[in-house]
Structure 1
Amino acid sequence: MSISKNFLIHQIIFVGLMLVTSAVLADELTEREQAADQVSEQFIKQLGGHLKKEMQANGPVQAITVCKEIAPQIANQLSNENGWSVTRVTTKPRNSLLGATDMWERKTLAEFEAAAAKGEKYSEMKKSVVVDEDGKFYLRYMKPLAIKPICLTCHGSEEQIPAPVKSELVKLYPFDQAKGYKVGELRGAVSIKQPMDVPLYKKF
């Protein structure tokens, strides 16, 4: 067999392997994004359920503890169960020690707001990309969180926040930036970072 024929066969095999590899990778990315969808929905559902229950049982002042204590617990539990990083992020943090954004998260939040300004709904948005950080690959994912009516008791205008809630917020969060919102505005996002070398649905 001639050298040219050998070369052609090797090229065909190489292209075929690349196509198979690309298809497998595309399937994996789809599965990983779907898994991130599920985890973000779990987080949102659990947090909303705790918040509603506490508001009904003990009122808005006690409900502050849900976002302060329960939300990080839910995020930590989901992180540990999956071997990922699951957090809430915002450009207007209430607690200056939690929820700070990195460059990619800030850019993505800005993209969400720009899309909303064009008429898209936050409930239908999400973003996922694969990034290389020092030779290690991650799937990064974000799902926006919009302000709902229940949120205004703690995140609305000065007129909408009851005096006892204001007093507690000042005591707990002296550098609070998370007020003045209206229903439907972007509060932040669920941010997930999956190491690509961690199998899906792995329980730790």
Structure 2
Amino acid sequence: MKRLLTTASLALAMATLAGLPTGSARADEAPAATGDVPAAELQEARGLMKAFATRLMGELQNGIEDGGPAHAIGVCGAVAPAIAGSVSDQGGWAIGRTALKVRNPRNSPSVRERAVLMDFQQRHAAGEDFKNMESAAIIEEGNRRYLHYMKAIPTQDLCLACHGSDVAPEVQQAIHARYPADAATGFALGELRGAFTFVKPLTPN
């Protein structure tokens, strides 16, 4: 899984999705959320998320059918950025995926993303389903202002061949050949796999 940032995202989005501190926020301190998210922006984020997830799932299914789970690992790494770029171009969003346990270190969560992921887990423990779980907020850091949307990704059957607790040896070998620092196995069906993360720069107040 690889992040993809568009030129429309500007330096703000690049810093946010890369987990770098910006503005006055400390590296270990999540920027404060403020204000309500406009309904139109929220609906746009949801629509783009659905388009991205649907296309990515289709490519993964095709990859597994063409060459098995080991082949799908390469498909995920190569195709996901292209899909994200295509979807991003529709609205100037920076689109990526992140998790508490990542396969590609470049997808490691920012301070804010980690906080949202942990909140997702707490909400799930309280009885909320990951299927429709999301977070949206207007974030302000110094003179920067942006919308940050995240949607939980539950672990599905399709994920288990490469992310479960019983990964086939040949798949494990393919994973470590491409991602030697992999930490994204051992998941069970229904657990939080990670989240889609969307950032859109806004005009400062």
Normalising by structure 1, we get a TM-score of 0.79
- Pair member with larger Rg: 1
Partner of 1:44: 53
The amino acid of 2:47's aligned partner reads: Q
The amino acid of 2:186's aligned partner reads: G
Pair 1:177-2:183 in alignment: yes
From 159, 176, 186, give the equivalent of 2:192.
Answer: 186
- CA shift for structure 1 position 81: 3.0
Cα distance in structure 2, aligned partners of 1:29 and 1:57? 42
Cα distance in structure 1, aligned partners of 2:151 and 2:52? 11
From 94, 110, 124, give the equivalent of 1:85.
Answer: 94
From 98, 104, 112, give the equivalent of 2:120.
Answer: 112
Pair 1:63-2:63 in alignment: no
Cα distance in structure 2, aligned partners of 1:65 and 1:149? 19
**Which runs of no fewer than 5 residues in structure 1 stay unpaired?**
1-24, 198-204
Partner of 1:94: 103
Cα distance in structure 1, aligned partners of 2:75 and 2:100? 20
What's the secondary structure of 1:35's corresponding residue? helix
Task: Report how many aligned residue pairs link the two structures.
Answer: 170
The amino acid of 1:107's aligned partner reads: A
Cα distance in structure 2, aligned partners of 1:76 and 1:113? 29
Partner of 2:111: 103
Partner of 1:4: none
The amino acid of 2:94's aligned partner reads: S
The amino acid of 1:73's aligned partner reads: A
- CA shift for structure 1 position 80: 3.0
- CA shift for structure 1 position 72: 1.8
- CA shift for structure 1 position 162: 1.3
* Structure possessing the higher relative contact order (Cα contacts under 8 Å, 6 or more residues apart): 2
Cα distance in structure 2, aligned partners of 1:124 and 1:80? 25
Aligned pairs for 1:122-137 within 5 A: 122-137=130-145
Cα distance in structure 1, aligned partners of 2:174 and 2:66? 18
- CA shift for structure 1 position 124: 1.6
The amino acid of 2:118's aligned partner reads: A
The amino acid of 2:160's aligned partner reads: L
- Percent identical pairs in the alignment equals 33
The amino acid of 1:196's aligned partner reads: L
Cα distance in structure 2, aligned partners of 1:55 and 1:85? 28
Cα distance in structure 2, aligned partners of 1:93 and 1:73? 20
